[in-house]
Structure 1
Amino acid sequence: PSGALRRSFEPFGGVYARDYALDPPQKQNDFGFGWVLAWSAALYLSWHLVHNWTDALIALNCASFIVQCYSPSWESEGLLTPESFSFHDGHRVVTSAFLHDGWYHLCVNMCSLWWIGRQLER
Protein backbone atom coordinates (compact mmCIF):
# COMPACT_ATOMS: atom_id res chain seq x y z
CA PRO A 1 0.00 0.00 0.00
CA SER A 2 2.74 2.53 0.81
CA GLY A 3 4.36 1.86 -2.58
CA ALA A 4 1.08 2.80 -4.29
CA LEU A 5 0.87 6.01 -2.29
CA ARG A 6 4.44 6.94 -3.15
CA ARG A 7 3.90 6.12 -6.83
CA SER A 8 0.97 8.55 -6.93
CA PHE A 9 3.49 11.40 -6.77
CA GLU A 10 5.54 10.02 -9.66
CA PRO A 11 4.27 12.46 -12.36
CA PHE A 12 5.51 15.32 -10.20
CA GLY A 13 8.99 13.87 -9.78
CA GLY A 14 10.42 14.20 -6.34
CA VAL A 15 12.32 11.92 -4.06
CA TYR A 16 9.55 9.33 -3.78
CA ALA A 17 9.43 8.78 -7.54
CA ARG A 18 12.98 7.46 -7.59
CA ASP A 19 13.31 3.69 -7.80
CA TYR A 20 15.67 3.34 -4.86
CA ALA A 21 13.34 5.43 -2.68
CA LEU A 22 10.30 3.31 -3.55
CA ASP A 23 11.88 0.16 -2.14
CA PRO A 24 14.81 1.19 0.07
CA PRO A 25 17.16 -1.62 1.10
CA GLN A 26 16.37 -3.15 4.46
CA LYS A 27 19.68 -3.03 6.28
CA GLN A 28 20.84 -2.14 9.73
CA ASN A 29 22.96 0.95 9.87
CA ASP A 30 26.08 0.31 11.90
CA PHE A 31 27.14 3.96 11.80
CA GLY A 32 24.03 5.13 13.71
CA PHE A 33 24.52 8.42 15.50
CA GLY A 34 27.98 8.72 13.98
CA TRP A 35 26.20 10.61 11.19
CA VAL A 36 25.08 13.25 13.67
CA LEU A 37 28.61 13.56 15.00
CA ALA A 38 30.00 13.78 11.45
CA TRP A 39 27.51 16.53 10.52
CA SER A 40 28.25 18.37 13.75
CA ALA A 41 31.97 18.27 12.98
CA ALA A 42 31.33 19.45 9.40
CA LEU A 43 29.17 22.30 10.69
CA TYR A 44 31.84 23.29 13.20
CA LEU A 45 34.55 23.28 10.52
CA SER A 46 32.42 25.23 8.04
CA TRP A 47 31.62 27.79 10.73
CA HIS A 48 35.35 28.32 11.27
CA LEU A 49 35.73 28.99 7.54
CA VAL A 50 32.93 31.57 7.20
CA HIS A 51 32.45 32.70 10.83
CA ASN A 52 28.66 32.73 10.73
CA TRP A 53 26.12 29.96 11.19
CA THR A 54 23.85 30.90 8.31
CA ASP A 55 26.58 30.72 5.67
CA ALA A 56 27.93 27.53 7.25
CA LEU A 57 24.52 25.84 6.98
CA ILE A 58 24.10 27.07 3.40
CA ALA A 59 27.53 25.69 2.47
CA LEU A 60 26.75 22.31 4.04
CA ASN A 61 23.36 22.12 2.31
CA CYS A 62 24.93 22.91 -1.07
CA ALA A 63 27.72 20.37 -0.52
CA SER A 64 25.18 17.77 0.57
CA PHE A 65 23.06 18.40 -2.53
CA ILE A 66 26.05 17.96 -4.84
CA VAL A 67 26.93 14.65 -3.16
CA GLN A 68 23.25 13.64 -3.29
CA CYS A 69 23.17 14.21 -7.07
CA TYR A 70 25.96 11.71 -7.65
CA SER A 71 25.34 9.19 -4.88
CA PRO A 72 21.85 7.67 -4.50
CA SER A 73 22.95 5.93 -1.31
CA TRP A 74 23.55 9.36 0.27
CA GLU A 75 19.89 10.17 -0.25
CA SER A 76 18.51 6.80 0.83
CA GLU A 77 20.63 6.99 4.00
CA GLY A 78 19.09 10.34 4.94
CA LEU A 79 15.43 9.88 4.02
CA LEU A 80 13.01 10.44 6.87
CA THR A 81 10.70 7.43 7.16
CA PRO A 82 8.56 6.06 10.00
CA GLU A 83 11.44 3.69 10.80
CA SER A 84 13.74 6.71 11.25
CA PHE A 85 12.86 6.96 14.90
CA SER A 86 14.39 3.59 15.75
CA PHE A 87 17.75 3.52 17.50
CA HIS A 88 19.71 2.50 14.40
CA ASP A 89 18.14 5.14 12.13
CA GLY A 90 17.86 8.09 14.51
CA HIS A 91 20.43 10.07 12.51
CA ARG A 92 17.83 10.50 9.74
CA VAL A 93 15.96 13.03 11.88
CA VAL A 94 18.95 15.38 11.42
CA THR A 95 20.30 14.34 8.02
CA SER A 96 16.92 14.62 6.26
CA ALA A 97 17.15 18.40 6.69
CA PHE A 98 20.13 18.38 4.30
CA LEU A 99 18.32 16.56 1.45
CA HIS A 100 16.72 18.52 -1.38
CA ASP A 101 14.55 17.39 -4.28
CA GLY A 102 16.13 19.55 -6.98
CA TRP A 103 17.88 22.82 -7.76
CA TYR A 104 14.71 24.86 -7.31
CA HIS A 105 14.02 23.29 -3.91
CA LEU A 106 17.62 23.91 -2.83
CA CYS A 107 17.61 27.55 -4.03
CA VAL A 108 14.30 28.43 -2.37
CA ASN A 109 15.35 26.81 0.90
CA MET A 110 18.77 28.48 0.89
CA CYS A 111 17.29 31.90 0.08
CA SER A 112 14.84 31.44 2.94
CA LEU A 113 17.62 30.29 5.26
CA TRP A 114 19.80 33.24 4.24
CA TRP A 115 16.96 35.73 4.75
CA ILE A 116 15.82 34.39 8.12
CA GLY A 117 19.30 33.37 9.31
CA ARG A 118 20.88 36.78 8.88
CA GLN A 119 18.00 38.34 10.84
CA LEU A 120 18.41 35.83 13.66
CA GLU A 121 22.19 36.27 13.85
CA ARG A 122 22.04 40.03 14.35
Structure 2
Amino acid sequence: KQAGHATRLTQDEVSKQPVLSPDATQIAYVHNDTVWVMNLDGSQQHQVSDRAGSAPAWDASGVRITYTATSCTGAPGTFRTGVDGGAASEVVAPAACVTEEAPLVGYIMG
Protein backbone atom coordinates (compact mmCIF):
# COMPACT_ATOMS: atom_id res chain seq x y z
CA LYS A 1 0.00 0.00 0.00
CA GLN A 2 1.29 3.43 -0.90
CA ALA A 3 0.44 6.49 1.17
CA GLY A 4 -2.93 7.82 0.07
CA HIS A 5 -3.63 4.80 -2.15
CA ALA A 6 -6.32 2.25 -1.28
CA THR A 7 -6.04 -1.38 -2.39
CA ARG A 8 -9.09 -3.64 -2.69
CA LEU A 9 -8.53 -6.87 -0.75
CA THR A 10 -11.84 -8.62 -1.47
CA GLN A 11 -13.35 -9.50 -4.82
CA ASP A 12 -16.92 -8.31 -4.27
CA GLU A 13 -19.12 -5.67 -2.70
CA VAL A 14 -20.49 -7.76 0.20
CA SER A 15 -17.63 -7.32 2.67
CA LYS A 16 -17.77 -4.74 5.46
CA GLN A 17 -16.82 -3.90 9.06
CA PRO A 18 -13.05 -4.58 8.80
CA VAL A 19 -11.13 -4.75 12.10
CA LEU A 20 -7.34 -5.03 12.30
CA SER A 21 -5.86 -7.69 14.61
CA PRO A 22 -3.82 -6.54 17.63
CA ASP A 23 -0.55 -7.52 15.90
CA ALA A 24 -1.67 -5.83 12.64
CA THR A 25 -1.20 -9.02 10.56
CA GLN A 26 -4.84 -10.01 9.97
CA ILE A 27 -8.22 -8.43 9.35
CA ALA A 28 -11.55 -9.72 10.65
CA TYR A 29 -14.53 -8.61 8.57
CA VAL A 30 -18.13 -9.44 7.72
CA HIS A 31 -18.66 -11.14 4.35
CA ASN A 32 -22.15 -12.20 3.24
CA ASP A 33 -23.31 -11.73 6.86
CA THR A 34 -20.74 -14.11 8.37
CA VAL A 35 -17.41 -13.31 10.03
CA TRP A 36 -14.25 -13.98 8.05
CA VAL A 37 -10.50 -13.44 8.57
CA MET A 38 -7.76 -12.72 6.06
CA ASN A 39 -4.10 -11.77 6.12
CA LEU A 40 -3.25 -8.09 5.84
CA ASP A 41 -2.39 -8.55 2.14
CA GLY A 42 -5.81 -10.13 1.40
CA SER A 43 -4.56 -13.73 1.24
CA GLN A 44 -5.92 -16.71 3.20
CA GLN A 45 -9.54 -15.48 3.32
CA HIS A 46 -11.64 -17.90 5.37
CA GLN A 47 -14.90 -17.98 7.29
CA VAL A 48 -14.64 -18.25 11.08
CA SER A 49 -18.23 -17.83 12.35
CA ASP A 50 -20.70 -20.70 12.15
CA ARG A 51 -23.71 -18.37 12.02
CA ALA A 52 -24.74 -15.02 10.61
CA GLY A 53 -23.04 -12.30 12.63
CA SER A 54 -21.70 -8.77 12.70
CA ALA A 55 -19.42 -6.41 14.65
CA PRO A 56 -16.32 -8.61 14.90
CA ALA A 57 -13.81 -7.68 17.62
CA TRP A 58 -10.41 -9.24 18.36
CA ASP A 59 -9.42 -10.31 21.85
CA ALA A 60 -6.14 -8.85 23.13
CA SER A 61 -4.18 -12.00 22.23
CA GLY A 62 -5.35 -11.97 18.61
CA VAL A 63 -6.34 -15.64 18.92
CA ARG A 64 -10.11 -15.26 19.23
CA ILE A 65 -12.82 -13.02 17.84
CA THR A 66 -16.13 -12.06 19.41
CA TYR A 67 -19.11 -11.07 17.30
CA THR A 68 -22.81 -10.32 17.60
CA ALA A 69 -25.43 -12.83 16.42
CA THR A 70 -28.95 -13.92 17.30
CA SER A 71 -28.95 -15.72 20.65
CA CYS A 72 -31.19 -18.47 22.06
CA THR A 73 -33.62 -15.79 23.24
CA GLY A 74 -34.00 -14.36 19.75
CA ALA A 75 -32.27 -11.15 20.85
CA PRO A 76 -28.70 -10.20 19.94
CA GLY A 77 -26.02 -12.14 21.81
CA THR A 78 -22.24 -12.31 21.89
CA PHE A 79 -20.36 -15.30 20.49
CA ARG A 80 -16.64 -16.16 20.42
CA THR A 81 -14.69 -18.17 17.85
CA GLY A 82 -11.08 -18.93 16.98
CA VAL A 83 -9.32 -17.29 14.04
CA ASP A 84 -8.95 -20.63 12.22
CA GLY A 85 -12.70 -21.31 12.00
CA GLY A 86 -14.16 -24.78 11.59
CA ALA A 87 -15.44 -25.08 15.16
CA ALA A 88 -18.72 -24.18 16.81
CA SER A 89 -18.83 -20.69 18.25
CA GLU A 90 -18.95 -20.34 22.03
CA VAL A 91 -21.86 -18.41 23.54
CA VAL A 92 -20.58 -15.56 25.73
CA ALA A 93 -23.85 -13.71 26.41
CA PRO A 94 -26.68 -13.51 27.32
CA ALA A 95 -26.10 -15.59 30.45
CA ALA A 96 -29.34 -17.53 29.86
CA CYS A 97 -27.87 -18.95 26.64
CA VAL A 98 -24.42 -19.93 27.92
CA THR A 99 -25.62 -23.34 29.12
CA GLU A 100 -28.05 -23.82 26.23
CA GLU A 101 -26.96 -25.90 23.27
CA ALA A 102 -26.67 -23.55 20.31
CA PRO A 103 -28.97 -24.30 17.38
CA LEU A 104 -27.30 -26.24 14.61
CA VAL A 105 -26.15 -23.99 11.81
CA GLY A 106 -23.83 -24.51 8.89
CA TYR A 107 -21.08 -22.59 7.25
CA ILE A 108 -22.21 -20.22 4.52
CA MET A 109 -19.43 -20.42 2.00
CA GLY A 110 -18.85 -17.93 -0.76
Same-fold call, TM cutoff 0.5: no
Structure with larger Rg: 1
The alignment's TM-score, normalised by the length of structure 2, stands at: 0.23
Q: Greater share of helix residues, 1 or 2? A: 1
Name the structure, 1 or 2, with higher relative contact order (CA <8 Å, separation 6+): 1
Q: Greater share of strand residues, 1 or 2? A: 2
